[in-house]
């Protein structure tokens, strides 16, 4: 194969097992470190968070945000309170971990307070609850 400056990859890891997916991730990282610009489309936001320096999120055909994964997460809230109630999973995002822990006092049942990821940010930015 020739040595392009830019490579477009459309969901290169869809349907792969975990080990194969990680090998593809390593290959993309090596190629990027060698100077190759990679445009990657993926529905796996964990993949975008791990691999991409800049992310553009699209919802209903519209670009809703662009930035580094860290910038997008900071803008939506660095910590998430996640709990299951009324038959569905709910999330509330907070800038401060202590605020998330304080809000958890009102939750009946199991909950998690954890760092926000790109998937949480997408849900917040699209104003869609989980399962919609």
Q: What is the mean pLDDT of each run of 10 residues along the chain (132 residues)?
A: 88 96 96 95 95 96 96 95 92 95 94 97 81 44
What pLDDT is stored for residue 127 in this prediction? 80
What pLDDT is stored for residue 64 in this prediction? 95
What pLDDT is stored for residue 131 in this prediction? 45
Residue 65 lies in a domain: no
Residue 66 lies in a domain: no
Phi, psi of 59 (to 5 degrees): -135, 130
What pLDDT is stored for residue 3 in this prediction? 81
What pLDDT is stored for residue 42 in this prediction? 95
Which one-letter DSSP state was computed for residue 108?
A: -
118, 69 Cβ separation under 8 angstroms: yes
pTM: 0.83
107, 81 Cβ separation under 8 angstroms: yes
Residue 109 lies in a domain: yes
The H-assigned helical ranges of 2-109 are 18-33, 45-51, 69-76, 97-104
Pairwise CA distance, residues 17 & 20, whole Å = 5
Work out how many domains the chain is built from and give that number.
2
Residue 1 lies in a domain: no
Residue 121 lies in a domain: yes
Q: Residue 55 is part of which domain span? A: 6-60
Strand partners, 17: none
């Amino acid at each position: 194969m020739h040595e392009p400056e830019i490579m477009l990859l459309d969901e290169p890891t869809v349907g792969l097992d975990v080990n194969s997916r990680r090998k593809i991730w390593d290959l993309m990282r090596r190629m990027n470190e060698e100077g190759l610009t990679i445009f990657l489309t993926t529905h796996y936001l964990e993949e975008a968070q791990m691999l991409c320096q800049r992310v553009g999120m699209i919802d209903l055909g519209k670009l809703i945000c662009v930035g580094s994964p860290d910038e997008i997460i900071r803008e939506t809230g660095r910590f998430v309170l996640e709990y299951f109630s009324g038959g569905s999973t709910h999330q509330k995002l907070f800038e401060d971990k202590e605020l998330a822990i304080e809000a958890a006092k009102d939750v009946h049942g199991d909950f998690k307070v954890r760092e926000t990821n790109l998937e949480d940010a997408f849900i917040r930015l699209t104003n869609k609850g989980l399962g919609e």
